[in-house]
Structure 1
Amino acid sequence: MLSLIRFAVMLQKLYPFWYDGPRIREKQEQSFRALLAHAAQHSPFYRRRLAGLDLKTCSLSELPILTKSDMMANYDDLVTDRRLKKADLSAFVDDKRNLGKLYINTYGVSHTSGSQGQPALIVQDREALNLVFAVQFARGAKLKRRFLPHLGRLIKPARMAVLTIAPGFYPSAAAFAYMPKFISPGFKVLHLTVSEPMAKNIRKLEDFRPDYITGYASALEAFGREEAEGRMRLRKLGCLKQITNVAEPMPDEAAERLEDVFGVHVTDEYAMGECLVLSSGCFTGRGAHVNADLAILEVVDEQNRPVPPGIEGRKVLLTNLYNHVQPIIRYEVDDRITMSDVPCACGSPFPRIAKISGRSKDLLWIEESGIRREVPYYVFLAPLHHVLDLAEHQIVQTGPRSFVIRAVPLAGKHLSTDHIRRLVMEHVRSEGLENTIDISIEIVPDIPRGPSGKVSRVKNEYALMVH
């Protein structure tokens, strides 16, 4: 009962009704200073790293940048609980039977996929784990009243279907393994894995009748095709209220198609295993709102200089304000983000992410006279929208001007390489790139998913070779 009361208090504090710009900045500053003080006192790594700084007045930009390799190489000294050792935690997550168990009866453990290189171990205490669900309740869906807006869930539980990989220690899957038992009466979860047969998942979805669906963009689009072709009937059932895209960038056109098919809004949430509550999707438009009371997100260029709103950055620096056992301060992530340069039309006081473009390492480019020029993904994506029997695709750069388009047909359908090539080349010519790009088309039965279950829509294999 005490845990439930604490959770209710946490929820009430998180409701966006109480926030405005000054209040958000004040809370962020208080949490930032508390994080620095705790890290300097309890982490040998940060004690050395922050030495000489006045932690009560120093600016964020004065602090050194933390890379994943730094964090993992110094893990035992970085964490603030001296009982935590990287070797022991690695052994813990290697045993799948430990999923959902608290390490030393205190901490939830997960690991990132390693899509940016080596995997990272993430440790959080119970309060941080509960926060994941509290933020989802308080900011993940529209609320119509200020006090106890979820009281009705005791009578009619919210039903969420989650489309990810099979349960494991990946953050998006592990989070639900640590879902507090005391909220289960008001929150039912159906976990679907992308590896299961589509027909089986459709039956489960229709029987479950979800209010909310959250999942990877590729999985959501696959279900959207099933609904559009009449093999699924969620819209007819009238249960669905919202779809949330996580973990993969989703083009606006794809989100709009899903909205047309299902008749509900598609929100975007930008997060990572190192900070699962980084943002909450906007209820009225594209993009997401940074939970700036819980994290600091810096959008920077290649030299770590701040990039102004409206301009795409080359990476981000994350400071997690709520995880004190594993302080993550100015943590470098190779994501390309554009912050909005105008307030969000929905009225939210939180900073708005206008666009999530993906990883900088997956940028496509060509070389002309020794000068590198970026080739936007839409050059290939826009014409593929007209390939109606296309189930999935992947754009792979294999040389300084060579690109492969891998195309997966819908079940029982046939794709023509000539037709795809003609559509793509027409668009390439309209962009003035026909003399600088060589394209080959591959029709494949499927596109392998990465270790976290995501489909990489864009891969620059050539960039890996030249570096």
Structure 2
Amino acid sequence: MKAPMHEHVEPKDGGFLAFIRRTSWTGRQYNAIRMDQHCLHQEQQKRLRRLLDIARARSPCYRDKFRHLDADCTDLAEFPVTTKTEMMAHFDEVVTDPTVTRAAVERFIADIRNVKEPFLGKYCVAHTSGSQGQPALIVQDQLVLDLLFAFQMTRGNPRFRGLQRFTQAVRNLLHPTRLAVLISQQGFFPSAWIWERLPKFMHRFMRFLFLPANDPDLVAKLNEFSPTVLTATPTTLDLLSLKIDQFHFPSLRQVVTWSETLTEPARRRIAEAFRVPVMDNYAMGECMFLTNGCPTASGSHVNADWVILEVVDEQYQPVPPGQLGHKVLLTNLANTVQPFIRYEIGDRLVMATEPCGCGNHLPRIEKLLGRAADFFWVRTPTGFRPLTAYPFQHAFDYLRDVREWQAEQVERNRVVVRLEPIPGATPDLTTAQNRLDERLAPTGLLPELDICIETVTRLTTDVHTAKFRRMISRVGVPDDLDPSLKNVVRDFALFQA
């Protein structure tokens, strides 16, 4: 069976006609938010059929997994689940391009200088990890990122509504959107890496400022740039809201959050401080365009014309809207080089039961459990400062011998890090320590911390919540912590469902 041709965005960048076509394609991505359920289902089925045909024709792993199903079956409930462990164990058999191999991807991402370069001249690669098992490698083509930025320009833009959408592109050409991105570390981590792979034609519509969240001149640089859109993790934005009097953003139109759970108290504080809509995007490296935040309600709208998100219970049976699921299954309809079909994600969601007041017809995630920022509060000569999971994550994600890690704050400034190796491997603790020191140095907290790194046979879940916790504090929040900072840590505490 011959698989269908790849669904390209439009001709490659170059020339005025190509620019007009790509701009038109970007604008058309808005249309799905007005689709009725029948039309949306048709779009899903068309793209699902194409994805399944390609997977059967070009992926030995999926061909074997689907051999018991009829070739014309598109009922996802009949298809087996795919886990991260399975995906990585059979990586070379999962991908649909035989020139893409796990060994080649690992060599590519081992050199940070490659972060701005396409893998094999045409693919985008990322590296992520999670509590489901060993780190994941993600390969995707440009269509995936074109969709991400198209959705951000249209569905994720509160001003792209009604007749205004027809003049939005012209306004952006005359006055490009100024997007300030606060990141924690450069690398192949999805939240930092995606900005290096922006479609070239988008630079005509947008100007960018990339800043580390701990940049000592953050306030001055942001004020000089004067962003129209500011994007960062909820933790970063909530902490910035405490310094709102130092910022001057006369043209700011919205803030966009990602990566962590945005609680309602934090949303209110951020909205009150910045006085613009707060758009909370929920995504993962396996599907960066999964949702766009809602400007009028909590949660985010699933881009269901290009992705299928199944909320299921422990037995993988569907959970109706309004009820908390045990996990979700992701089917990315755009990525055909590394298909994610019923890919298991450990997040717990509640889908909304009522139509959204913003007018977007796409399904809305009302509540998300399982993603939150954990803090260690560290004593410094100038007071207590928060330490999040990011330095630890960025230090250990690139250690291929490490299956999972956990950091425990046993005393106020003493942390024990435990590394669980991949079976048969022996992590180099000196390398691990050096990587962590490199990531902690920009925070300014390295001199204050006493850190011990050790290996363990197996890391286990929390006995009270049955969830795996990477960050565990035995000393909690300092009694004399400033009350405004207590609000931040309280609202970003680990969710227990």
Q: Structure 1 length as normaliser, TM-score?
A: 0.76
Specify the SS of the correspondent of 1:118. strand
Corresponding residue number in structure 1 for 2:223: 206
Aligned residues between the structures: 385
Residues 171-211 of structure 1: per-residue CA shift (max 9 Å, x gap)? 111111011222212101111212423xx111111111111
Question: Which SS does the other structure have where 1:329 is aligned?
Answer: coil
* Aligned equivalents of 1:291, 1:161: Cα separation in 2: 24
Choose from 328, 335, 352 the match for 2:364.
352
2:177 aligned to 158, 161, 170, which one?
Answer: 158
Matched, 1:324 2:336: yes
Give 1:212 shift.
0.8
Match in the other structure for 1:64: 80
Work out whether residues 60 and 94 of structure 2, in 8 Å CA contact, stay in contact via their aligned partners in 1: yes
Contact 2:235 2:492 in 1 (8 A): no
> What residue in structure 1 maps to residue 256 of structure 2?
244
**What's the secondary structure of 2:340's corresponding residue?**
coil
Q: 1:12 to 1:440 in 2, by over 3 A?
A: closer
Which of 465, 468, 478 is matched with 1:443 structurally? Answer: 478
The one-letter code sitting in structure 1 at the alignment partner of 2:178 is: R
How far the C-alpha of 1:20 sits from its partner, in A, is 2.8
Give the deviation of 1:392 after TM superposition: 4.9
- The offset of 1:305, in angstroms, is 1.6
Letter of the 1:7 partner, please give it: R
User: Residue 96 in 1 paired to residue 96 in 2?
Assistant: no
Shift of 1:233: 2.3
- Once the two structures are superposed, the pairs formed by residues 390-409 of structure 1 within 5 Å of their partners are 392=386
Deviates more, 1:110-119 or 1:249-258: 110-119
Report matched runs for 1:309-458 at 5 Å: 309-359=321-371, 392=386, 441-443=476-478, 457-458=493-494
Unpaired segments of 5 or more residues in structure 2?
1-13, 375-382, 390-408, 414-443, 445-473, 482-490
Pick aligned residue for 2:300 from 288, 299, 324: 288
- Say yes or no: does 1:45 pair with 2:61: yes
- Following the alignment from structure 1 to structure 2, what is the Cα–Cα distance between the partners of residues 331 and 258? 33
* 1:419 equivalent in structure 2: none
Structure 1 residue 6 displacement after superposition = 4.3
SS in 1 for 2:370: strand
- Following the alignment from structure 2 to structure 1, what is the Cα–Cα distance between the partners of residues 495 and 340? 28
Residue 385 (structure 1) aligns with: none
Q: Which residue of 1 aligns with 2:281?
A: 269
Q: Is the 8 A contact 1:129 1:175 kept in 2?
A: yes
2:12 matched to 1:29?
no
1:247 alignment partner AA? S
In structure 1, the residue matched to 2:378 is: none
Correspondence for 1:305 among 299, 307, 317: 317
SS at match of 1:147: helix
Q: Deviations over 1:33-65 (max 9, x none)?
A: 111011000111111111131242341111100
Residues 288 and 159 of structure 1: is their aligned pair in 2 closer, same or farther, counting only changes over 3 Å? same
What letter matches 1:13 in structure 2? R
Q: Percent identity?
A: 39
CA distance in 1, matches of 2:50, 2:479: 52
Alpha-carbon displacement from aligned partner over 1:269-324 (angstroms, at most 9, x marks no partner):
11100000101111112110000001001111222121111111121100000000
> CA RMSD of the aligned region, Å?
3.2
CA positional deviation for 1:22: 2.0
- Aligned position for 1:425: none
Q: How many angstroms apart in 2 are the aligned matches of 1:391 and 1:354?
A: 32
What letter matches 1:280 in structure 2? Answer: N
**Is the 1:405–1:441 contact (alpha carbons within 8 Å) kept by the matching residues of 2?**
no
1:225 alignment partner in structure 2: 242
Specify the code of the residue in structure 1 equivalent to 2:209.
Answer: L
Whether the 8 Å contact between 2:126 and 2:189 is mirrored in structure 1 is yes
Aligned match of 1:187 = 206
Partner secondary structure for residue 305 of structure 1 = coil
Aligned AA (2:229): Y
Unpaired runs of 5+ residues, structure 1, are 364-376, 378-388, 396-402, 412-438, 447-454, 461-467
Which residue matches 1:84?
100
Q: SS of 1:350's equivalent?
A: coil
Question: Mean Cα displacement is larger for which, 102-111 or 112-121?
Answer: 112-121
Q: Does 1:9 pair with 2:24?
A: yes
Q: Which amino acid aligns with 1:287?
A: G
- Conservation of the 8 A alpha-carbon contact between 1:12 and 1:148: no
Alignment partner of 1:172 out of 191, 195, 201: 191
SS of 2:227's equivalent in the other structure is coil
Q: Which whole-Å CA distance do the structure 1 matches of 2:268 and 2:156 have between them?
A: 19
- In structure 2, how many angstroms separate the alpha carbons of the residues matched to 1:15 and 1:87? 39
TM-score normalised by length of structure 2:
0.72
Code of the residue aligned with 2:41 in structure 1: it is R
CA shift, 1:149, in A, is 2.7
